[in-house]
Amino acid sequence: MKLAYYPGCSLKGTAREYDLSTRLVARHLGLELVEIPDWNCCGATAAHSTSHFLAVALPARVLALAEDMGLDILSPCAACYQRLRAAQEELKRDPELKRQVEGALGRTFEGRVRVFSLLEALAQLGEEALAAQVVRPLKGMQVACYYGCLLVRPPLTSCDDPEQPQLMEKILAPTKVDTLDWGGKNECCGASLIFGAREVALNLIKNILHAAAQVRAHALVTACPLCHANLDLRQKEVNRFFGTNFAIPVFYLSQLLGIAMGLNPRDLGLGSHFVDPQRALRMVGS
Amino acid sequence: MPRVGVFVCWCGSNIGGVLDCPALARAAATFPGVVYATDYQYMCSDPGQKLIAEAIKEHRLDRVVVAACSPRLHEDTFREVLARAGLNPYLLEMTNLREHCSWVHAGEKELAQAKALSLIRRAVAKALRLTPLHPGRVKITRRCLVIGGGIAGIQAALDVADAGIEVVLVEREPSLGGKMVLLDKTFPTLDCSACISTPKMAAVAKHPLIRLYTYAEVEKVEGSLGNYRVTIRQKARYVDHTKCTGCGTCWEKCPVKVPDELNFRLSTRPAIYLPFPQAVPSKPVIDARHCRQLTKGKCGVCQKVCPAGAIDYTQQDSLHEEEVGAIIVATGFDLFPWEKAYGEYGYGRYPDVITGLAFERLVNASGPTGGRIVRPSDGREPRTVVFVHCVGSRDELKGREYCSRICCMYTAKHAHQVKERLPEAKVYVFYIDIRTFGKGYEEFYRRVQDEGVIYLRGRVSKIYQEGDKLIVKGADTLLGEPVTIAADLVVLATGVVPARGAEELARTLGISTDKDGFFQEAHPKLRPVETHTAGIFLAGACQGPKDIPDTVSQASAAAAKAVGLLLREEIEVSPLVAWVNQALCTGCLHCQVVCPYQAIEVVTEGGRRRARVKEELCQGCGSCTVACRPGAMELKGFSNEQILAEVEALCR
Amino acid sequence: MNENFWSEVNRAAGQKITHCYQCGKCTAGCPVAFAMDYKPHQILRLLQLGRGEELLSSRALWVCSSCQTCTTRCPCHIDLARLIDTLRFFSRQAFPQVTRHGMPLFNEVFLRSVKRYGRVYELGLTLQFNLKERKVWRDLDLGHFMLSRRKLRLLPEPVENRKEVAQIFSAEKEEPR
Ligand SMILES: Cc1cc2nc3c(=O)[nH]c(=O)nc-3n(C[C@H](O)[C@H](O)[C@H](O)COP(=O)(O)OP(=O)(O)OC[C@H]3O[C@@H](n4cnc5c(N)ncnc54)[C@H](O)[C@@H]3O)c2cc1C
Ligand code: SF4
Ligand code: SF4
Ligand code: SF4
Ligand code: SF4
Ligand code: SF4
């Protein structure tokens, strides 16, 4: 399968390892990714809380570029994914807006391309195809799959059941990693608040880490660069602020899958985590 | 030339507030054939009726047009006026200025006025072509069918039978009783539910005039008011009830254990079973899905041990025909399937999140725990219990807009029961509004609050498991705060939906359902137990959510209506039926194909095949007239000529 | 403020505000309700009553994380997250000073970066935001860590077709949606 790859801004910077690991894993699974030429930022939360027009028009350009390529889009970043999907739905719902956007871009939309999150793209391969690549089963390691907000909400753009999502667990099943049942899966990590309302965001991060600790998770798994930044990079700050001592590594879904596929941890970008992932990996086989 | 009178009704301000009725009457007076026209505040009232009757005499009217409300409401009223004034009642034509005009066009008075005039012109055009019609008469089968053996069906059957009329009662489960026998106590008086319902079940079984079919379903209904032929499918029980003595040896020895659906999987039962000890009939059935003999061909234990030789593994479903004159539908309700809709409450994955009905089984002395309130997961007594109102009710997102009416009260009852059995337990109830409309209900709710139950106004957003606690995230909107409670047991006040299969039964019976799937009553206020199909009545929760007092009242009302009908020797049948113009009929029988009531037969005369309408079966739906190409099929009161004249008048 | 405000918000967000029956499910599920001055259901209530002044100066608008939980679960199909976006617009109009710090400031700086480069230049954005908030030293340790892991680019990496991006921004009308 061939997909138009939309890394988005985060994967070019703070979430470099998500980009690396996604590309690597995709290659090994026979997913051909062609980066969308000259893609632009989706606008993220800043756009939709400022102007509905920008919130649709920015992702619309990306949709149009992919339409030119004649390929469906893979958007590993959960925020980009949701903005692309939301823009798609708005263009469908509001012909007047569509006209304005087309005017501004000088492009037209047929609405042909589909937008996939990493979860959907991997799940589509099927359990067998994934199992065939697993050479290093992760038995013994317990992880809490964390979906956050944007992959599953609102229901209109959700890639899975909004309340009890299961795609990550399904994708990871062939790796034999123990996926835990927990209550924090779709709670908000406060990514959009980390700059504007720091303390509030730290509270939300703490709640999620707490919930994961409650079920004795060795690690969290995520498919969103913003969640990752909050949960991993900010863990120390949370500990400082609340006097806690969480030390829960956070993997990208692609990284964990890659490890089970026997790929080189360095190539998967495991070295750039704030909380050392090795402590979780040591649980394998325990 | 007929002499038409036109009577325009104001319906108070309903019509008069939008339309200029006197002007309509003045304009109508100029239509050809109209010799008299007038308007009046309330045409249906006594003086209004008198006005029409006197005008008929004074102006020698022989056709009457009433421009008022829906014929559904008052056609019969005005037909009777004509009859009293000595005219054939079918020389009346109504036009609906209320629902079809003033109500829907209140904001555009001028256009409404023009439309109203058109509607009257149409009615006059038809009136000019009306002919006198005479209703037929048929004899009545003095027997009554009751479908559903919950408290509604039981009460209705007993009332009809006590009036001396034979009853056929069909219940699809192995025992009578419905939901009520499963309950522990009943609000607001807290009397024991089984103690007041099982004597009634026994009375049904003993009644000489009631023929009881359990584990059976109505498969087909033919005929119409006064004379129905009903086909009943008796599902195979694999136990010959004429031989079985109900000794219980078989169900004690059966090696199979399956989760007991009546106890919401809180306990198990054998494959040959009595649903509960007071079941009526008190004889077992074999659950073919789980019996080893029937699924795998080996076991046969019950047959070996049965002292009466009643077990018959070869039994098949059997069909039975019954003739009845009236039908009472009492199929009750089911609980909203919350496990499919509420992901935020876990889709039923947490064993300690249960429904109100499961809670009834928990507190019930004859239930799976002998009345001890414990957690299904580990059998421990809960120390914190949370109740959640309006699950699957008042929730458009989940597709159910209406209030289920019973859950506020049953939750208050449950909260009281927790406090009574486990005085130390903390009890919280999350509600949106409290609806305690019945006699003694508000008082009961206040009492429960005094017992220490804490009511929190807010809908619960999420429930999830953390360790052995259930975390309930709710709100207290009165304080404007989110509230989180770590609970041991959560009870969902699950809403009421129509019984499974109600839609299908409605089709079998030819009655309609409302937007939520409950059976539709003929009029929400004035004909609450009748359907639009004459001779079919409604009782209990199948018509809408209801508690037991309302259910029983409605059941008795339905019984009274049915008895009133069945005590007549004969009934009039509508003359508005189809007839075949034999000269035009080509015998193609397209009409026979489309008739939903099998009312068309073939007659062969002189080698020529023609259609003929069986008037006693025809419901006047008119399907055949549309299917008939040469125009041989005509509906009395809606003839082709009349309809074309109406269309022409409207297009003017 | 008045009914005018009410109907304008209603129109802009395309919501049936009257439909809310104050069940509080939004507040119950909102992750940040604890930090809001007006809770989500109270925002709806103020809207129903047309009390715009209180609403538009409320801190809640800038604490909402746009997590969409309220929208996902509201039994009455009210898209509260979207409503809040709309109210943010009105709030910036009524009280331009809100954009001097916190989330509205961040949004502004963020969009400026997008307007300029077509993409987000994370380092520049963070520095600029911290500067404007007068918290230059914030997250210094993190920045150091990230630079050492090549998680921050030193220079922006703009799109080539900046004209098209500029067109998007110039077509944006100052109009709530
Ligand atoms: C948890 C709970 C607690 C309650 N507590 C109280 C209380 O304390 N006090 C009170 O007043 N009310 C209470 N109620 C309400 C009470 O249960 C109902 O008012 C009552 O059961 C309605 O009776 P019914 O006969 O209309 O329906 P049901 O009890 O549902 O009976 C319908 C019967 O029809 C049968 N049936 C369905 N479809 C067919 C078919 N197609 N063919 C043949 N048979 C069919 C069913 O098997 C069933 O036996 C409670 C309800 C619940 C859920
Ligand atoms: S034959 Fe079936 S019902 Fe009878 S005892 Fe065996 S399993 Fe039970
Ligand atoms: S009766 Fe009470 S709990 Fe039941 S739906 Fe109505 S308001 Fe909700
Ligand atoms: S009107 Fe015609 S189709 Fe309808 S019931 Fe009568 S005969 Fe049948
Ligand atoms: S959840 Fe919806 S209906 Fe309930 S208070 Fe919030 S906005 Fe209103
Ligand atoms: S979108 Fe905003 S208001 Fe709604 S639940 Fe999330 S944080 Fe609360």
Tokens of A224: 């969103």
The model carries a pTM of 0.88
> What 3-state DSSP class applies to B75?
helix
The Å distance, Cα B396 to ligand 1 centre, comes to 24
Domain encompassing residue C106 = 101-174
Same domain, C86 and C16: yes
CA distance C11 to chain B (A): 21
**Total domains, chain C:** 2
In degrees, rounded to 5, the angle at the alpha carbon of residue C58 between the alpha carbons of residues C57 and C60 is 150
pLDDT of C3 over the 70 cut: no
Q: Are residues B557 and B591 in the same domain?
A: no
Whole-angstrom distance, CA of residue B570 vs CA of residue B567: 9
What distance in Å separates residue A91's CA from the closest CA in chain B?
24
Same domain, C81 and C112: no
Residue keyed to tokens 């921050």: C152
Question: Would the CB of B405 count as within 6 Å of ligand 1?
Answer: no
**Alpha carbons A74 and A26: distance in angstroms, whole number:** 11
Nearest-5° Cα angle at B83, B78 to B88:
100
Give yes or no for a contact between B391 and B342, defined as CB atoms under 8 angstroms apart. yes
Assign residue C53 the CATH number of its domain.
Answer: 1.10.1060.10
| ipTM entry | 0.94
E strands, B214-284, in order: 216-224, 227-234, 258-259, 268-269, 272-273
In three-state form (DSSP H/G/I as H, E/B as E, the rest C), the secondary structure along chain C is: CCHHHHHHHHHHHCCCHHHCCCCCHHHHHCCCHHHCCCCHHHHHHHHHCCCHHHHHCCHHHHCCCCCCHHHHHCCCCCCHHHHHHHHHHHHHHHCHHHHHCHHHHHHHHHHHHHHHHCCCCHHHHHHHHHHHCCCCCCCHHHHHHHHHCCCCCCCCCCCCCHHHHHHHHHHCCCCCC
Residue C1 has pLDDT above 60, yes or no: no
Asked if residue B187 has its Cβ within 6 Å of ligand 1, the reply is yes
- Which of B540, B567, B594 is the last residue in one of the domains? B567
pLDDT at residue A215, rounded to an integer: 95
- The domain boundary, picked from C76, C96, C116, lies at C96
Check pocket membership of B127 for ligand 1, CB cut-off 6 A: no
Residue of A nearest to C135 (CA): A195
Q: Domain check: are B409 and B445 in the same one?
A: yes
> Would you say the CB of residue B494 lies under 6 angstroms from ligand 3?
no
DSSP-derived secondary structure letter, B149: -
**Least trusted range by pLDDT, from A209-213, A281-285, B64-68, B301-305:** A281-285
Q: C74: Cβ–Cβ under 8 A, 6 or more apart, which residues?
A: B397, C20, C25, C26, C80
Report the separation in Å between the CA atom of B548 and the middle of ligand 3, taken as the mean of its atom positions. Answer: 16
Among the listed residues A83, A82, A74, the one whose alpha carbon sits nearest the alpha carbon of residue A36: A74
Determine contact, residues B97/B15, Cβ cutoff 8 Å: yes
Q: Is B242 a domain residue? A: no
- Is B557 in the same domain as B598? no
Tell me B380's DSSP state.
Answer: P
Domains of chain A: 2-118 (1.20.1050.140), 135-282 (3.40.50.11810)
The residue assigned the tokens 């009830």 is B241
Q: Are residues B373 and B454 in the same domain?
A: yes
Residue B652 lies in a domain: no
| Chain A residues touching B347 at Cβ < 8 A | 163-164
Residues of chain C contacting B459 with CB distance shorter than 8 Å: 23-25, 28, 75
User: What are the chain B neighbours of A158 within 8 Å (beta carbons)?
Assistant: none
Residues B210 and B327 in one domain: yes
Domain final position from C63, C79, C96: C96
Predicted local distance difference test score (pLDDT) of residue A171 = 98
Looking at the structure, do residues C42 and C74 belong to the same domain, yes or no? yes
- C6 pLDDT higher than 70: no
Last residue of a domain, one of B128, B159, B179: B128
pLDDT of A165 > 80? The answer is yes
Within a domain: residue B644? Answer: no
Determine, yes or no, domain membership for B572. Answer: no
Are residues C105 and C141 located together in one domain of the fold? yes
Chain centroid, CA C79 distance in Å: 15
DSSP labels for chain A?
A: -EEEE--HHHHHTTTHHHHHHHHHHHHHTT-EEEEPTT-----HHHHHTT-HHHHHHHHHHHHHHHHHHT--EE--SHHHHHHHHHHHHHHHH-HHHHHHHHHHHT--------EE-HHHHHHHHHHHHHHHH--S--TT-EEEEE-TTTTT-SGGG-SS-SSS--HHHHHHGGGT-EEPP-S-TT----GGGTTTSHHHHHHHHHHHHHHHHHTT-SEEEES-HHHHIIIIITHHHHHHHHT------EEEHHHHHHHHTT--TTTTTGGG-SS-THHHHTTTT-
Q: Among A271, A189, A192, which Cα is nearest to A238's?
A: A189
Closest ligand to the CA of B258: 2
Separation between Cα atoms, residue C148 and residue C127, nearest integer Å: 17
Q: Which residues of B touch A215 (CB under 8 A)?
A: 466
What pLDDT sits at residue B262? 85
Q: Are residue B392 and residue B466 in the same domain, yes or no?
A: yes
For residues B169 and B32, state if they share a domain: no
Residue B179 lies in a domain: yes
Residues C25 and C83 in one domain: yes
Q: How many structural domains does chain B have?
A: 5
Residue C103 to residue C84: CA distance in whole angstroms = 13
Structure tokens at B496: 């009421």
Q: Which domain-ending residue is among C63, C96, C129? A: C96
**By CB neighbour count within 10 A (0-12 exposed, 13-18 middle, 19+ buried), where does B225 fall?**
buried
Q: Is residue B430 part of a domain?
A: yes
User: Does residue C57 sit in the same domain as residue C138?
Assistant: no
My answer on whether C111 and C91 are in the same domain is no
For ligand 5, what atom is nearest to the CA of residue C76?
3
| Residue with CA closest to ligand 2 atom 1 | B300
Q: How far is CA B192 from the centre of its chain?
A: 27
B310 falls within a domain: no
Work out the minimum CA distance from C176 to partner chain A, whole angstroms.
7
Q: Is B461 on the interface with C (CB under 8 A)?
A: yes
Amino acid at A280: A
Q: List the Cα angle B121/B123/B126 in 5-degree steps.
A: 110
Contact list in A for residue B470 (CB cut-off 8 A) is: none
Q: How far apart are CA B291 and CA B403, in angstroms?
A: 41
Q: Are residues C66 and C136 in the same domain?
A: no
Does residue C120 register a pLDDT over 70? yes
pLDDT above 90: residue C137: no
Residue stretches of chain B with pLDDT short of 50:
none
Task: Determine the pLDDT at residue B574.
Answer: 87
For residues B276 and B366, the answer to whether their CB atoms sit within 8 Å is yes
Domain stop point among B452, B471, B497: B497
- Is C91 in the same domain as C105? no
Q: Are residues C48 and C121 in the same domain?
A: no
Residues C30 and C46 in one domain: yes
Which pLDDT score, from 0 to 100, does residue C145 have? Answer: 85
**Do C61 and C123 lie in a common domain?**
no
Whether B651 is covered by a domain: the verdict is no
Nearest CA to ligand 2 atom 5: B254
Pair B467, B345 in one domain: yes
Instruction: Determine if residue B332 is left, alpha or beta; phi over 0 gives left, psi from -120 to 50 gives alpha, anything else beta.
Output: left
pLDDT of residue B619: 85
Same domain? B582 vs B522: no
Please say if the pLDDT value at position C134 is more than 90. no
Q: b/e per residue, B36-61, with b = 16+ CB within 10 A?
A: bbbbbebbbeeebbebbbebbeeeeb
| Residues A106-123 pLDDT 10s | 998 888 899 999 999 999
B326 and B338 part of one domain? no
Average pLDDT value over all residues in chain C: 88
- Do residue B184 and residue B215 come from a single domain? yes
Query: Reduced to 3 states, what is the DSSP secondary structure of residue B287?
Result: coil
Q: CB–CB of A45 and C107 under 8 A? A: yes
Cis peptide before B188 (omega within 30 of 0): yes
pLDDT > 60? residue C174: no
Task: Check whether residue B461 and residue B390 sit in a common domain.
Answer: yes
Contact C27 B398 (CB under 8 A): no
Question: If you average pLDDT over residues C81-105, what whole number do you get?
Answer: 90
Residue type, B208: P
Domain that holds residue B426: 334-497
